[in-house]
Structure 1
Amino acid sequence: MQRYFVPAEQFAANTVTIKDDDAHHIVKVMRQKIDDEIIVSNGNGHTVLAKISHIEGKEVTATIQYELEDKTEANVEVWVAQSLPKGDKCETIVQKCTELGADKIIPFQSVRTIVQYDQKKMHKRLERWRKIAKEAAEQAHRDVIPEVTEIYSWKQILSIASEADLAMICYEKEDAVGIKDALQRISLSAAVGESEKKKILIIIGPEGGFTEEEASQAEMEGCTSIHLGKRILRTETAGMVALSCIYYETGEMGGK
């Protein structure tokens, strides 16, 4: 069943209104009609099954049948910090990390980042990435749309490491640990009475990797240097592999 994300203000007590591109998709692409059912979410965990009751112009009104209880979000909160790759690779990274379950995607610039955007181009790129995240979240039947942040500096990335219960940087060095070993260093289960999920930050470098100085700076801020196996992964692959490992080890994909 098709899922749509709409702003919270478009929810009323018993109805929800879908507008613009999503309304066009319902009527012109999916060819849905009165009494057809759709899933609608406010992007923040409130997801309902609704029945189309009115179609007019670029607006579709649906009557809420009931709230869906089967939640699709993981039991840990994962942030993927990704150094900007060349070309359109970031679109793939945003799409696939959203499908897998990332809660936040943080593009950033590091020493070996080649890509440089001016303000106008950066705004367009962010707009595009956020649209991709929304569409990927709908396709994956997620309850939330991951946040795609503004482009961070390396200094800003270091500053958020302390906000995570576990911060990891993908950096190939002799004493780097496997991601499984790093995850075992903390308890990823919420303590009794805690409602907040544990936060994990994974930091991925650019095509040329991190410098030794960057890796040292990250470790000084509490990040654990990890590897993702014996093979060298492309920057656009590393985040997907890391997310898969995290979700497996935390029971999301049948591990533990």
Structure 2
Amino acid sequence: MPAVIIKGEDVHHIVNVMRMSSGDHVMCCAKDGHEAECRIESLSKEEVVLSVVDWTGKNRELPIRVHIANGLPKGDKLEWIIQKGTELGASSFFPFEASRSVVKLDHKKAKKKRERWLKIAKEAAEQSHRNKIPEVGGVLTFKGLLESLPSFDKCVVAYEESSKQGENSQFQSVIKDLPEGSSLLMVFGPEGGFSESEIEALKEKGALACGLGPRILRAETAPLYALAAVSYHTELLRGE
């Protein structure tokens, strides 16, 4: 059987936290997302060597790749969004500077924050048995966000004015019509929402402004609501 070698922080977790030993079984995921049941062959402070017992063939990823772009919110709200968003199946997270973002990060702070965000995504992916660890990008400018839109098959923007006006069908239509394997970028504003000029700029790039039901959701709630809706439509309903 092929060998799997684990190095880095995971070695400490397996050896010192979990106190595992030779012969114990663990689940591993390759970079391409394939999951394998593995047996520990040897352990040291530097590495853990395993052998593949069985490739499980299990896939726990959403049928469509959902990417979350979030205007920088206050406090630790983005950490919450990344942790819970990972559990709900998000493929990646892109924080960006919106005109109404209170938080402003210089290069040094942004780098340190991203290191923490990546760690949170990794731990949440392991806890929820994801096949892949979501990517967390560096903080984008709003211009950088706009330039990224053509990389995705579809883009929707959660806009509270659409919710206030009672629009609640476009988001559902997008999810329903996207074929399996498609990429969907969902854009959310900070606590103060988007300015009209930002919404217009996003629309000009092909984004669809839509509501998320009749209630106005907080900045940290909206991405999780949207991910849950995607899961319901693409996994639960299609599984009937």
Q: Which amino acid aligns with 2:37?
A: L
One of 62, 72, 80 as aligned partner of 1:74: 62
**Residue 170 (structure 2) aligned to one of 156, 160, 181:** 181
1:230 pairs, out of 214, 220, 231, with 214
| Counterpart contact for 1:177–1:225, Cα < 8 Å | no
1:146 aligned to 123, 134, 153, which one?
134
8 A contact 1:17–1:61 mirrored in 2? yes
CA distance in 2, matches of 1:125, 1:47: 30
Structure 2 unaligned segments of length 5 or more: list them. none
CA contact (8 A) 2:154 2:185 kept: yes
Instruction: Please give the alpha-carbon distance, in whole angstroms, between the structure 2 residues aligned to 1:247 and 1:156.
Output: 28
What is the one-letter code of the residue matched to 2:167?
V
Instruction: Find the counterpart in structure 2 of residue 253 from structure 1.
Output: 236
Task: Please list the CA deviations of residues 6-36 of structure 1 after superposition, one character each: whole Å capped at 9, or x if unmatched.
Answer: xxxxxxx711111232111112211211111
Instruction: Indicate the SS of the match to 2:149.
Output: helix
* More divergent stretch after superposition (13-22 vs 230-239): 13-22
2:124 is aligned with 1:136: yes
Contact 2:70 2:94 in 1 (8 A): yes
- 2:199 alignment partner, one of 189, 194, 215: 215
Q: 2:184 aligns to what? A: 200
Per-residue deviation, 1:58: 3.0
Q: Does 1:166 align with 2:154?
A: yes
Q: Report the Cα distance in structure 2 between the residues aligned to 1:23 and 1:226, rounded to whole angstroms.
A: 45
SS at match of 1:210: coil
Equivalent pairs counted in the alignment come to 236
Give the superposition deviation at 1:118. 1.5
Runs of 4+ in 1 over 4 A off after TM superposition: none
Deviations 1:202-241 (A, max 9, x none): 1000011101111111112111111112222111111000
CA shift, 1:113, in A, is: 0.8
Q: Following the alignment from structure 1 to structure 2, what is the Cα–Cα distance between the partners of residues 183 and 87?
A: 31
> Percent of pairs identical after alignment?
39
Deviation, structure 1 residue 176: 6.8
Distance 2:113 2:45 in 1: 30
Contact 2:171-2:211 at 8 Å conserved across structures: no
Residue aligning to 2:144? 156
Structure 1: which 5+ residue stretches go unaligned? 1-12, 191-196
- Matched-pair contact (CA < 8 Å) for 2:81–2:223: yes
Deviations 1:72-104 (A, max 9, x none): 111101110001111111111111111100111
Tell me the alpha carbon deviations over residues 46-79 of structure 1, each in whole angstroms, 9 at most, x when there is no partner: 3211101101223211111122201111110111
CA contact under 8 A between 1:44 and 1:145: conserved in structure 2?
no
Computed over aligned residues only, the root mean square deviation of the Cα atoms, in angstroms, reads: 1.7
Q: 1:231 to 1:182 in 2, by over 3 A?
A: closer
Amino acid in structure 1 at the alignment position of 2:137: T
Q: Which residue of 2 aligns with 1:7?
A: none
Output the CA distance in 1 between the equivalents of 2:110 and 2:152.
27
How far apart, in 2, do the equivalents of 1:181 and 1:248 lie? 16
List per-residue Cα deviations over 1:182-202 (Å, max 9, x = no partner). Answer: 342573225xxxxxx111111
In structure 2, the residue corresponding to 1:54 is in which secondary structure? Answer: strand
Shift of 1:126: 0.4
8 A contact 1:129–1:148 mirrored in 2: yes
Compute the TM-score of the two structures, normalised by the length of structure 2: 0.92
Q: Given the two structures, how large is their TM-score scaled by the length of structure 1?
A: 0.86
Q: Which amino acid aligns with 1:74?
A: L
Change in 2 beyond 3 A, CA 1:228/1:234: same
Q: Distance in 2 between matches of 1:115 and 1:201?
A: 23
